[in-house]
Amino acid sequence: MNGKYDKILKENLEEIFLPLAKKILRLKFDKAEEIPDDIQYTKELKTDFLKRIMLEDSAQNYILHIEFQTKDDNLTLFPV
């Protein structure tokens, strides 16, 4: 996504990302934790949305990563 919109989206959509993930992706979790997302190469990159999802059974915890794109990559989506 174009860097100038990343911060705006993160700030305004933070509160609805997890409820949307639960509803649309049918994810079930108890808690989510922020994960630092600064990635440094020659150029600094940041993810749009990166959370550690914690479940009652901690062996089932996972990372949820969502990226917004400005164009369609024609990827095939698999049903959840």
Domain map (residue ranges) of the chain: 3-66
For residues 71 and 42, what is the distance between their CA atoms, to the nearest angstrom? 24
> If 0-12 CB within 10 Å is exposed, 13-18 middle and 19+ buried, where does residue 71 land?
exposed
Tens of pLDDT, residue by residue, the chain (80 residues): 456 667 777 777 778 878 888 888 888 888 888 877 666 656 667 788 889 999 989 899 999 888 887 777 666 555 54
pTM for this model (two decimals): 0.41
